Structure 1
């Protein structure tokens, strides 16, 4: 699996580049096709970030990441 830095992840925010990526527990997921991440925003969360700590407040569990392709590791 390819590795990416936080800076590379930050560019995949739906604004700077067309890809919309998020990270959770060191794995980067491509959420570009999700209608819930349109324009890089999902409720109060922004793409291009590690959302591991924010999952605590989410109304869903980590199983939601199974819907998306894991495309890399965050280093």
Structure 2
């Protein structure tokens, strides 16, 4: 079973407050810190430490992109 994190706990993993760079999508939290596209917790106009589920529609990719990232937990 995966650990659970609140939105407040996720917000601290933004690449600024802590080293972790995490984002959430459909209730699953992913570690995107190894991606060069998420350097310093920013990816184009998106910031880490947030639930980006509603923003995927504007992305040039689909949700298959999350398959390359490590799942670290679930968003409560």
Moved over 3 A (4+): none
Unaligned residue ranges in structure 1 (runs of 5+):
none
Deviation at 1:49, TM superposition (A): 0.1
Structure 1-normalised TM-score?
0.99
Unpaired segments of 5 or more residues in structure 2?
Answer: none
Query: C-alpha offsets along residues 14-66 of structure 1, whole Å, 9 cap, x if unaligned?
Result: 00000000000000000011100000000000000000000000000000000
Q: Tell me the matched-pair count.
A: 75
TM-score, normalised to structure 2's length? Answer: 0.98
